[in-house]
């Protein structure tokens, strides 16, 4: 048992107080579910957690702050960068002068300004994610980060700080597949970097950070518990493009990290390697295979089978490709459900559910998140 046994609230849920996490705006971020995920994990005896769809890394950060050893992984390079910063950075004090220095770098006109900077006072019809005064700062700071000869963790801290600062002043609805017609009010603010809220940790705790496809990474990881939060392809048959595609939604974070000035296309100036044909995840697939089964549902089944941890917490959002029947059979094939939580965002209600038909009918609702605690 670990530090989780402190700070339980009246409902037996770990409160997020004192468990601050940082993250960009991200479709599917589990910020609002952190207390539920932690309280489910508290029902079992796990000490290490594998988070292979780590995204913003908020869940990884929350587990690490609660005393678990965390193995964070995702196939996106931004998530790897955040995880190195928050889990491996150790001491925020060490980075104060670096961040101060980056804030003092003179703005310049460069590649980011050319492709993503817009003027607030012209009536140009071209929509851009940031005002030019801020892309000029971005151009200067991004060049400087490469010139400083930083080690891997220092560079991850600098890039995480830069991305968080850019996220605070963007003119988007939370992703970079399209930009707003009118400048958002936050986009008028100046780009300003802050030291990330890195964990103060004792050197004995050995968190790990990986990047890669979950099926590859899972082969070389050992942990007690896995928190599985894959993308869920939309079940809206008429609007397959409405599904979330992470590589295309967050292409700009890839480019800020790689600084590789890629070829871009379309009105949003997306990097060419973020096209669906190249970058889509099997979990985002909306089609059926030759045998008539949904590819995304098969991927969830395979995932549950291949994960080698004793316990799994599986996240599921209503509106996803899998039906309740699919999920029930996938879970039953690999283990026993110990607990289910239903979190209705709109009603702000959390309910415990039994492993009965009760949840099968509930799961067809909209805007509801489910957490399944499974023992394999
Ligand atoms: C629902 S989001 C996870 C959100 C995360 N739990 C959070 O709170 O920020 C799904 C994540 O899965 C990642 N992903 C999608 N397919 C993947 C795959 N095949 N292997 C590894 N990661 C994948 C995406 O990059 C995305 O960050």
Which has more confidence, 261 or 291?
261
Q: Is residue 223 part of a domain?
A: no
* pLDDT recorded at residue 4: 40
Predicted confidence at residue 133, as pLDDT, reads 98
Q: Would the CB of 316 count as within 6 Å of ligand 1?
A: no
Structure tokens at 170: 């963007």
In this prediction, residue 187 carries a pLDDT of: 96
Question: How does pLDDT run across 124-151, given as a tens digit for each residue?
Answer: 778 999 999 999 999 999 999 999 999 9
**Using alpha carbons only, what angle is made at residue 280 by residues 279 and 284, rounded to the nearest 5 degrees?**
165
Q: What is the mean pLDDT of residues 178-186?
A: 93
Q: State the pLDDT confidence band at 344, using cuts at 50, 70 and 90.
A: confident
Q: Which residue's CA is the closest to the ligand 1 atom numbered 7?
A: 29
Out of 10-19, 173-182, 201-210, give the one with best mean pLDDT.
173-182
- Structural domain contains residue 276: yes
Q: Are 48 and 68 in contact (CB under 8 A)?
A: yes
Give the number of domains in the chain.
1
Q: What residues make up the domain containing 185?
A: 92-197+237-284
Give the count of beta carbons closer than 10 Å to the beta carbon of residue 125. 6
Task: Inform me whether the pLDDT recorded for 92 exceeds 60.
Answer: yes
The pLDDT value recorded for residue 237 is 56
Confidence of residue 288 (pLDDT cuts 50, 70, 90): confident
CA distance 141 to 199: 25
User: What's the mean pLDDT in 28-35?
Assistant: 93
Report long-range pairs for 334-339 (Cβ below 8 Å, ≥24 apart): 334/304, 334/305, 334/374, 334/376, 335/374, 335/375, 335/376, 336/374, 336/375, 337/372, 337/373, 337/374, 338/43, 338/44, 338/311, 338/373, 338/374, 338/375, 339/40, 339/43, 339/372, 339/373
- The pLDDT of residue 240: 52
Q: Is 175 in the pocket of ligand 1 (CB under 6 A)?
A: no
Mean pLDDT of 100-126: 92
Cβ(232) to ligand 1 under 6 A? Answer: no
Q: Which atom of ligand 1 is nearest to the CA of 58?
A: 8
- pLDDT value, residue 347: 57
- Report if residue 8 sits inside a domain: no
Is residue 79 in contact with ligand 1, taking CB distance under 6 Å?
yes
Whether 90 contacts 198, CB under 8 Å: yes
Give the neighbor-by-neighbor strand order of the sheet with 225-228.
208-211, 69-74, 48-51, 225-228, 311-317, 368-375, 336-344, 349-353
Report the percent of the chain where pLDDT is more than 90: 66
Pocket test for ligand 1, best of 24, 29, 58, 75 (most atoms within 8 A of CB): 75
Weakest-pLDDT range from 12-16, 32-36, 137-141, 149-153:
12-16
Q: Is residue 280 domain-resident?
A: yes
* Confidence band of 118 (pLDDT split at 50, 70, 90): very high
Residue 311 lies in a domain: no
Q: Is residue 326 part of a domain?
A: no
% of the chain at pLDDT higher than 70: 84
- The sign of the torsion formed by the CA atoms of 178, 183, 186, 190 equals positive
Whether 2 is covered by a domain: the verdict is no
Place 12 in a pLDDT band, splitting at 50, 70 and 90.
very low
Q: d(Cα 98, Cα 103) in Å, to the nearest integer?
A: 9
Among 7-21, 250-264, 299-313, 342-356, the range scoring the smallest mean pLDDT is 7-21
The closest of 155, 156, 180 to 169, measured between CA atoms, is 180
Residue 269 lies in a domain: yes
Average pLDDT of the chain? 87
- Least confident residue range of 3-7, 83-87, 92-96, 139-143: 3-7
* Segment (H or E) for 230: none
How many whole angstroms separate alpha carbon 169 and alpha carbon 160?
Answer: 15
């Amino acid at each position: 048992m670990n530090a989780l046994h402190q700070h339980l609230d009246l409902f037996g849920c770990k409160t997020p107080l004192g468990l601050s996490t940082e993250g960009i705006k991200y479709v599917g971020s589990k910020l609002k579910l952190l207390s539920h995920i932690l309280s489910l994990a508290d029902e079992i005896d796990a000490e290490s957690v594998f988070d292979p769809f780590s995204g913003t890394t908020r869940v990884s950060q929350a587990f690490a702050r609660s005393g678990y050893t965390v193995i964070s992984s995702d196939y996106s390079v931004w998530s790897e960068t955040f995880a190195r910063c928050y889990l491996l950075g150790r001491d925020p004090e060490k980075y104060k002068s670096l961040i101060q220095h980056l804030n003092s770098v003179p703005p310049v006109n460069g590649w980011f300004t050319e492709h993503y900077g817009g003027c607030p006072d012209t009536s140009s019809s071209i929509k851009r994610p940031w005002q030019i005064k801020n892309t000029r700062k971005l151009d200067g700071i991004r060049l400087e980060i490469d010139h400083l000869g930083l080690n891997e963790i220092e560079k991850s801290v600098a890039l995480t700080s830069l991305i968080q600062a850019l996220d605070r002043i963007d003119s988007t609805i939370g992703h970079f597949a399209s930009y707003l017609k009118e400048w958002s009010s936050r986009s008028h603010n100046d780009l300003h970097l802050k030291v990330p809220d890195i964990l103060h940790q004792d050197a004995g705790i050995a968190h790990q950070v990986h990047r890669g496809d979950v099926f590859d990474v899972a082969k070389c990881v050992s942990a007690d518990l896995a928190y599985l939060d894959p993308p869920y392809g939309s079940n809206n048959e008429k609007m397959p493009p409405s599904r979330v595609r992470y590589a295309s939604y967050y292409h700009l974070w890839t480019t800020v990290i790689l600084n590789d000035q890629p070829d871009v296309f379309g009105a949003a100036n997306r990097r060419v390697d973020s096209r669906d044909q190249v970058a889509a995840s099997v979990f985002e697939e909306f089609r059926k295979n030759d045998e008539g089964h949904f590819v995304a549902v098969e991927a969830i089944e395979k995932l549950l089978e291949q994960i080698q941890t004793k316990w799994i917490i599986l996240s599921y959002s209503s509106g996803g490709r899998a039906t309740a029947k699919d999920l029930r059979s996938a879970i039953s094939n690999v283990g026993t459900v110990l607990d289910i939580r239903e979190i209705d965002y709109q009603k702000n209600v959390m309910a415990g559910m039994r492993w009965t038909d009760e949840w099968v009918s509930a799961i067809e609702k909209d805007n509801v998140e489910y957490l399944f605690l499974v023992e394999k």
